[in-house]
Amino acid sequence: MLDDGMEALLVLARIVRVWRQLFIGKGLSTTRSAREVAAAAGVPSLRPANLSPAAKKYEWKQLAAGFRELLNLDRALNRPARTLRPVSMSCYGS
């Protein structure tokens, strides 16, 4: 997306949206139906069955680490260019 010219903050927003959906899906998937989980997470009604299995692939530790990395990336992107430093995206592997 970045190579296609999309702004870094818009890319970050898309990643955060999916990560938030995974977080909500993980929390609700044991007590709610796939359709209810998808509705709570804001997933389009055409694909409710995809969220719960995807969310179950992640441990809570991985989701929390992902949110920390996203927060660090957001902070880095909002700093002046002279203070930017590389941000690791290693926690996004399953």
Structural domain range at position 40 = 12-79
Q: Give domain status of residue 65, yes or no.
A: yes
Q: Is residue 1 part of a domain?
A: no
Using one digit for the tens of pLDDT, what is the confidence trace for 34-58?
Answer: 888 888 988 877 676 778 888 888 9
Model pLDDT, residue 62: 93
Residue 89 lies in a domain: no
Q: Does 55 reside within a domain?
A: yes
Average pLDDT over residues 16-31: 89
Work out how many domains the chain is built from and give that number.
1
Using CA atoms, how far residue 29 sits from 14, 17, 47, 72, 92, in Å, is 22, 18, 15, 28, 20
Minimal CA–CA distance to 21: which of 59, 62, 79, 63?
A: 63
Higher pLDDT, 81 or 67: 67
Question: Residue 91: inside a domain, yes or no?
Answer: no
Cβ atoms of 22 and 55 within 8 Å: the answer is: yes
Judge whether 6 lies within some domain.
no
**pLDDT at residue 84 above 50?**
no
